[in-house]
Each structure stands twice: as structure tokens, then as C-alpha cells.
């Protein structure tokens, strides 16, 4: 498995990833962190965006919808489930 970084929008459905970098200021980081999304956390992509709609991921056993623009700022690397 390569260690290339991709954003959350590009991650394929039903694959696992680890958040490596969040491109954004403190406000964005804090918002994401409140639902358990931070650098180092493992996530699973549930569904992709339609019409630039939100991306849905599973993190810490719950599903979270993340707006398209926000998902673009979250960089992940693919990992094995």
C-alpha cells in the first residue's frame, strides 16, 4: 500500500484511512476534533459526495457528514481495514 496523501473526497467508498493532515486553522481543527476527527485517527469512508454534497465517514463508531469544502481540507492515507 502506498503512503500517498489524498483528500477525503477522493478516498474510495468502503475503504479505511488515517487522517494525516488537516489543512485549516484552529477553528476548523476544533470543530473536527469535537466529533473525534484529528490527525492520527482512523476512519472509514461510507459514502461519496454527490453534486459536491457532503462526504460521509465512520469515525469512532458513529457516522459523520462532512461538507464538501471541509472534506477537501482533510488529507488521509489509505490503510488496511
User: Which residues contribute to the site for another protein (CB under 8 A)?
Assistant: 26-27, 30-36, 38, 41, 46-54, 56, 59-70
Least separation in angstroms between CB 2 and another protein: 27
CB 42 within 8 Å of CB 17: yes
CA-CA distances (angstroms) from residue 26 to 16, 21, 31, 61, 69?
Answer: 25, 13, 9, 25, 16
- Cβ closest to another protein, residue 1 vs residue 25: 25
H or E, element range at 19? strand 16-22
- Cβ closest to another protein, residue 3 vs residue 34: 34
- Cβ closest to another protein, residue 1 vs residue 13: 13
Amino acid at each position: 500500500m502506498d503512503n500517498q496523501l489524498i483528500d477525503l473526497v477522493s478516498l474510495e467508498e468502503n475503504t479505511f484511512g488515517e487522517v494525516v493532515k488537516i489543512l485549516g486553522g484552529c477553528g476548523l481543527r476544533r470543530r473536527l476534533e469535537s466529533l473525534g476527527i484529528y490527525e492520527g485517527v482512523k476512519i472509514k469512508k461510507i459514502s461519496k459526495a454527490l453534486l459536491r454534497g457532503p462526504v460521509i465517514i465512520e469515525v469512532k463508531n458513529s457516522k459523520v457528514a462532512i461538507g464538501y469544502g471541509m472534506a477537501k481540507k482533510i488529507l488521509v492515507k489509505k490503510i488496511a481495514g
